[in-house]
Amino acid sequence: MPRQTNMSQMKEMEESKLPDIEFKTPVIRLLKNLLETSTKMEKDHSEIKHILTEIKNNIQVFNSRVEDSENQINDLEYEEAKTTQPEEQKEKRIQKYKDSVRNLLDNFKRTNIHIMGVPEEREQDIENLFEEIMTENFPYLVKG
């Protein structure tokens, strides 16, 4: 609206063909208003630029924090993968060792079986052992 008022004032001044001093005074007043408005717009523009710069800086800080967080997450995932792999290998080795120990114990127990009443040197001749026991204890059952 001030612009329309200024324009209408200018037209009135032209039409009335005022003397020089009367014409210059409103024109100077209009120019001062225009200069003040321009100065105010420059201040507003510089404030807006400053605010935009702050927003850009905040966005950059936020983006760098996001990147740092992503890098930390990737590092943690890598470390987790490194630690879980040896743990799985340890578990496999432990199971393998347990199986080996169990196998050794089974072999040890098997060779350590003694048949009561049979001397150790005769343990190699186990095939005939059953027949001997039968003939000693049950002579009438053995076919001769």
Does 48 have pLDDT greater than 90?
yes
- pTM score > 0.75 for this model? no
pLDDT at 71: 94
Summarised one tens digit per residue, pLDDT across range 91-137 is: 888 899 888 888 887 776 655 555 566 555 555 566 677 777 878 88
For the chain, what is the largest distance between any 2 Cα atoms, rounded to a whole number of angstroms? Answer: 164
pLDDT at 135: 82
Return the domain boundaries, the chain: 20-87
Average pLDDT over every residue of 40-55: 93
